[in-house]
Amino acid sequence: MTIKRIKFTAGLKLPENKITEHMPVVRLDLPSKVVLPLQQHFGQQCNLLVKKGDTVRTGQIIADSDSFISAPIHSTITGVVSSVFKMINPLANSIVDAAEITASEEEDVQYLPVNQVFEEIKKDLEGFKDNNEAEKYLADKIKEIISRINGLDNEEIISIVKNAGIVGLGGATFPTHVKLRPPKDKQIDSLIINGCECEPYITADHRIMLEYGMQMLIGAYIFYKVLNPGKVYIAIEDNKEDAILNIDSLIAKSGLSKSFCVVSLKSKYPMGAEKTLIKNVLKRKVPVGGLPLDVGVVVNNVGTCKAACDAVLRGQPLIEKIISVTGAVSNPGNFIVRIGTPVSEILKCCGGFKSEIREIILGGPMMGNDINEENFPVTKAVSCILIKRGLPRNEGHCIRCGRCVDICPMNLMPLNYVNFVKNSKFDMCREYHISSCIECGSCAYVCPSAIPIVAYIKTGKSILTGK
């Protein structure tokens, strides 16, 4: 059953520009090299476990940390560690260590190279002529997989997720195993699976729900088994009707309707932001400085669910991602790429740029990060490579119009943060709850003076946290 939520108190109705939403996912060829920053997650940077000249295999852990809030880094190709160096990570606004791996001629993997569970099911389904028989077969297979998961110990599942290096793939990159161990005094009664994908252009999650819906649902069930909430809400914006129908159908066939449901939400930005999502799905407000678990909720992205399914059923660590490559490129699309693949190699596969004047953004136009270096790699945080035409606007002076205040989904005063940062009044940033900003970019979008408000906010946060 699909639950509809109509009201949305704040946000923007943006041009969607989902030009790749009907383009099936295509797997790109293996890259000639990968660059792997040792911090691709929220939390402690990993320590390198290999050295220059070492041979590594696909799926091998090459960096790890003893810190609880961290996630291991795996080699995403088979090859030789050709370089170890420091690099600027624009996604984390910091300098991090990195390892470059040059590919060998043949791939040697440390996990099942063929998805023996879901590929066989897909192949078998193609042989059915009767739809009713095909649906019964699919339902039986899903229930069989669920029974297999029920036979696993929760600690074993958490260990698999941790060792697979799985993090939040919606962009926040919070280590998933940490979410699966909420403090004992925090009772989790609701699990929200985030399939909103509210940023313009990006369609990777949409395609996951259409093409890998079964894996996504199984991953959600894995989290459900460990957390034992009362209800699982799969939140999808109403501009993805085909995904809503597909997931709703899979829930019914799997026999999970008592605990799982789809929630259809208005397509408005930033619906997919964690705190906004919780408010609209459950009518609960996360306290200032608080976390979703403070109101009994855990939120995970649909891509994170698929990654958990691959790890638990196949033993595959997080070595690849589905991303959208879109905007002013000759051949846009949705692609499976190995983490660490340089942006330049991916763009080459997409036919290059359409325009001489361009801007490369990792992520969407609202929360993405501009990069000047085409050889910057795809990391766990990247869900889109967006090429935009045109020249950036010059920053003007604030005219005190108040539009940024009116549009803020967190009821903050973004214009104050710009002034505080410019005048080094960072204590005032804290006093005005800068940490509550979700960096959605709505304020900068409506600013008539083209002030990069989010950039100032990120600077303020960075200085306050010492990172």
Give a yes or no: residue 41 inside a domain. yes
Same domain assignment for residues 67 and 126: no
For residue 330, give the CATH number of its domain: 3.10.20.600
Q: Report yes or no on 398 lying in a domain.
A: no
The residues, any chain, with a CB within 8 Å of residue 434's CB and separated by 6 or more, are 412, 417, 457, 460, 461, 464
Q: What 3-state DSSP class applies to 382?
A: coil
Q: Using an 8 Å Cβ cutoff, are 397 and 422 in contact?
A: no
Q: 467: pLDDT confidence band, cut at 50, 70 and 90?
A: low
Q: Indicate the pLDDT class of residue 371, thresholds 50, 70 and 90.
A: confident
Q: What is the pLDDT of residues 264-315, one digit of tens each?
A: 999 989 999 999 999 999 999 998 888 999 999 999 999 999 999 999 998 9
Q: Are residues 139 and 275 in the same domain?
A: yes
Model confidence at 4: pLDDT above 70: no
Percent with pLDDT over 90 in the chain: 69
Residue 8 has pLDDT above 60, yes or no: no
CB 107 within 8 A of CB 59: no
Residue 86 maps to a domain? yes
Please indicate, yes or no, whether residues 301 and 383 belong to a single structural domain of this protein.
no
55 by DSSP, 3-state: which?
strand
Mean pLDDT, rounded, for 254-261: 94
Evaluate whether residue 378 is within a structural domain. Answer: yes
Answer yes or no: do 186 and 256 share one domain: yes
Q: Please tell me whether the peptide bond between 72 and the residue prior to it is cis, using omega within 30 degrees of 0.
A: no
pLDDT reading at 84 higher than 70: yes
pLDDT tens string 141-182: 888 999 999 999 999 999 999 999 999 998 889 999 999 999
| Residues 47/97, Cβ–Cβ less than 8 Å | no
Taking the C-alpha atoms of residue 316 and residue 302, their distance in angstroms, rounded to an integer, is: 17
Q: Give 80-110 as a DSSP string.
A: EEEEEEEEEETTTTEEEEEEEEEE-SS--BS
Q: How does strand 190-194 pair with strand 25-27?
A: unpaired
Residue 221, pLDDT > 70, answer yes
Residues 191 and 212 in one domain: yes
The yes-or-no verdict on residue 113 having pLDDT over 60 is no
Q: What is the pTM of this model?
A: 0.92
pLDDT per position as a tens digit, 322-338: 999 999 999 999 999 99
Domain that holds residue 332: 319-389
CB 467 within 8 A of CB 425: no
Q: Are residues 286 and 434 in the same domain?
A: no
Q: How many domains does the chain have?
A: 4
Same domain, residue pair 194 and 310: yes
